[in-house]
A and B are shown apart, each in its own frame.
Chain A
Amino acid sequence: QKEVEQNSGPLSVPEGAIASLNCTYSDRVSQSFFWYRQYSGKSPELIMSIYSNGDKEDGRFTAQLNKASQYVSLLIRDSQPSDSATYLCAVNRGLGTGGFKTIFGAGTRLFVKA
C-alpha cells in the first residue's frame, strides 16, 4: 500500500462545475496536509494547506480533512480551463527523531472542458 494514494485520473469536468480531488494516507500520525498544483512542464506550487479536521476555504478552493478516515480532499468550485493541471497531495508526518517526512502522492490530472 502506498503511503499517499490518489486516483491518477484524468478527471474531466465541464467549465463551471465543481471538481473533487481525493487523497488517502496510510499513517495515522500524519499531521500536516498540502495540495500542490503542477502545470505540464512546470514545478509544483502550493494551493492549500490544512492541519485540523474540517474544511478550509480559500477563494474557489476548499480543502477537507478527516483524520479518522485518513482522507483529505480538494474541491474546486466554478472550475476554469486554467485549473487544468496535475494536483499533488502531500502529507507530513513526524519522525521519532524530531524531524518529519513529506510523502507526495502520484497526482491526479484534471481537465476542465470549456
Chain B
Amino acid sequence: IAGITQAPTSQILAAGRRMTLRCTQDMRHNAMYWYRQDLGLGLRLIHYSNTAGTTGKGEVPDGYSVSRANTDDFPLTLASAVPSQTSVYFCASSDSGQRDTQYFGPGTRLTVL
C-alpha cells in the first residue's frame, strides 16, 4: 500500500508559468487536503475536498485551484506562479469524520523564481 503519493518531489518554476502538483491516495479516503508549509507559519490549508465532486476553499486559496474528479486524485494547480508561492506543499487525506487522522504525502518543494 503506497498511501499518498505526490509528484513532483521538487520543482523550480519561472514566475508566470502554470504548474500542477499531483496527489494520489489509495486508501479510499473521502476527504483530501492541500497545505503549504512555510517557516514559522506552520501548515496552512489551501483547498480541501470532503468527497469526490466537491471542493472548498481553505485559509489561503488565492492563486490556487483544485479539482476532485474521483476519490483517488486531487491535483493542485497554480495558474500563474508567483515567488510568494515558493513553499513546501503537502497533500493529505482522511476519512471524513472529525476524529479521523490526516495522512500526509511526502511533499513537493516548489521554488518560483
Contact = CB atoms under 8 A, between A and B. Distances in A.
A47 to B, nearest CB: 10
B41 A106 contact: yes
Interface residues of A, number: 22
Interface in A14-35: 31-32, 34
Interface string B41-62: 1111100001000001000000
A88 B40 CA distance: 12
Contacts of B40: 8, 106
Given A43-B90, A43-B104, A43-B106, A104 B43 contact: yes
A106 B42 CA distance: 4
Looking at chain A's contact residues, the main secondary structure is: strand
A43 B105 contact: yes
Interface stretch (A57-65, A76-84, A94-102): A94-102
Contacts of A34: 101-102
A88 B98 CA distance: 18
A71 interface: no
B98 A92 contact: yes
A104 B42 contact: yes
Interface of B: 33, 35, 40-45, 50, 56, 90, 98-99, 101-107
10 contacts: A43-B104, A43-B106, A44-B90, A46-B102, A46-B103, A92-B99, A102-B33, A102-B102, A104-B42, A106-B40
